[in-house]
Amino acid sequence: MSSPNINTLGALKKTDYKPQNIQDELAKNLRQRLRDGVATFEGLIGYENTVIPDVERALLSGHNINLLGLRGQAKTRLARQMTQLLDEWVPVVTGSEINDDPLDPISREAKELIVQQGDNTPIEWLHRNDRFFEKLATPDVTVADLIGDVDPIKAANLKLSYADERVIHFGMIPRAHRCIFVLNELPDLQARIQVALFSILQEKEIQIRGFKLRLPIETQIIFTANPEDYTNRGSIVTPLKDRIGSQILTHYPHSREIAKAITAQEVKMKEGTAAQIHIPELARDILEQIGFEARKSDYVDAKSGVSARMSITAFENLISTAERRILINGEESTCIRMSDFLGIIPAINGKVELVYEGEQEGAEQISYHLISQACKTLFPDYFPEIKKLEKQDEEGPYDKLLGWFFSDNELFLEDTLDDGLYRDTLENIPDIKNILDTHQAACPEEDTHFMMEFLLWGLEANKRLNKYRTLEGFQFKDALGSYISGL
């Protein structure tokens, strides 16, 4: 329906408008989108064949939905996008607290107004973007917040007794009549408050301090919950779960390619930064692999999850680290370096929940460890795998390079080294260019020095070199020599 110019009940009656509940409205528009081949939800990369079909089935069934998944799995974004399945405009009785449909009012005030003014009853139009309500369930949420309460001020002003239903002040769910209402982190809601939702979901009744109103409230309710909450903070009471039509499991990206696409879509790059800073594809792979390493790490609490926001904020920090170096050196452009990954540690620290062993190691060390593990995992995709080089009397592809470090040579790369010195320093390492020419002949020229540094980080991750962090940068030494000198 798209007739915002109509402003009286009489004029509305002359149109083809017919009342419908919100579940039917969502299903109707969803059916049309599916017939037309139009995407139902946009920007939810990786959910095309898993979560989205489940949500579509639930909406076609007219179900209330519980989105169950770990943090950073786009549960709220998914719920917000459901507004796009609503009609663009719907009529409401002007001044109605609960968005009364002019042709099917449910509140006493709207009904009395229509009786008094008839076809002259004023109406207004509600846009679909204004038909979304959201509430975070916290332990201090009350029945009054969600359902309603008796308002003594209203009773005094209208000179009504508390036995009159007009003294009720409606809560968020009745005010979301004909709207989408999202209740986030449902297990955090106290059990007695969850019980108050039973009659709303099933019988469409409101019970407030002795009042029992039969109000056919039509609200599309979307709950979100984190499985961790079931043990750490609370639970969803069984009768409430029974009344929720569909429980849909969300998930993290199944592949690095999907994760990269999500990060590219979400990351905020400053204007002109893309032209200044070259980002090798391998750097993007390493960044996403860090998230995958965190989700399977023994140091990280798997039940808590690792949000997709970690990769997004880490990417932004990676860019900012390179930009800071450009500004310090007065350069026009640069390429991401492996040493720039040190700048993403603050973005990792706050995004992972550590188990006891991780806490003992320290957040900083675990973040550093995850970066190293990502390099170790990706290393065989670009260079010969280290474990195949253990045969005696057989020359390996890294022997000359490691031999240089074994001869008491060491490499120091400052964080803010200008591009010219950075390139010269790497190129002066014996045999490093030959290794790249042999195993990465197709490497783009602009990625060459990043690949050289990645080779060193990979050798360190496989315990063939030692890498030390100083205040100014990274120092690479021979692993065996370092061990002996330590003894």
pLDDT surpassing 70 at residue 2: no
Residue 34 has pLDDT above 50, yes or no: yes
* pLDDT tens digits, one per residue of 304-354: 888 889 999 999 999 999 999 999 999 999 999 999 999 999 999 878 888
Residues of the chain with CATH 3.40.50.300: 9-141+174-249
With H, G, I as helix, E, B as strand and everything else as coil, classify residue 387.
helix
Closest CA to 339 of 239, 431, 412: 412
* pLDDT tens-digit readout, 236-264: 888 888 889 999 999 999 999 999 999 99
Q: For residue 117, which of 147, 94, 146 has the smallest C-alpha distance? A: 94
208 has pLDDT over 90 = no
pLDDT at residue 4 greater than cutoff 90: no
Whole-prediction pTM? 0.85
H or E, element range at 223: strand 220-225
Whether the CA torsion 166, 96, 122, 106 is positive or negative: it is negative
For residue 200, give both structure tokens. 């709303």
- The region of weakest confidence among 137-151, 194-208, 318-332 is 194-208
Burial class (CB in 10 A: 0-12, 13-18, 19+), 161: exposed
What pLDDT does 231 receive?
Answer: 46
- Give the pLDDT confidence score for residue 350 in this predicted structure: 78
Residue 65 predicted with pLDDT over 70: yes
Q: Residue 79: its pLDDT value, please?
A: 93
User: Which option is the CATH number for 9-141+174-249: 3.40.50.300, 3.90.25.10, 3.30.300.30, 3.40.50.970?
Assistant: 3.40.50.300
Please tell me the predicted confidence (pLDDT) of residue 356.
75
What pLDDT does residue 252 have? Answer: 93
Per-residue pLDDT, averaged over 168-183, amounts to 90
- Cβ–Cβ < 8 Å for 227, 68: yes
286/242: higher pLDDT = 286
Whole-number pLDDT of residue 148: 79
Residue 485: band (very low, low, confident or very high) from pLDDT cuts 50, 70, 90: very low
What confidence score (pLDDT) does residue 327 get? 93
DSSP code per residue over 195-217 = HTTHHHHTT-EEEETTEEEE---
Position 393 scores a pLDDT of 62
* Residue appearing with tokens 């995850």: 370
| pLDDT tens sequence across 66-102 | 999 998 899 999 999 999 999 999 999 998 989 999 9
| Max CA pair span of the chain | 101
Q: Which long-range contacts (CB under 8 A, 24 or more apart) does 372-376 make?
A: 372/457, 372/460, 372/461, 373/290, 373/293, 373/297, 373/461, 374/286, 374/289, 374/290, 374/292, 374/293, 375/286, 375/338, 375/454, 375/457, 375/458, 375/460, 375/461, 376/458, 376/461, 376/462
Range among 53-67, 101-115, 177-191 rated most confident: 53-67
Q: Which of 290, 336, 342, 314 is nearest to 469 (CA)?
A: 342
Question: Which DSSP string corresponds to 36-52?
Answer: HT--SS-S-TT-TTTHH
The more confident residue out of 388 and 58 is: 58
Average pLDDT over the chain reads 87
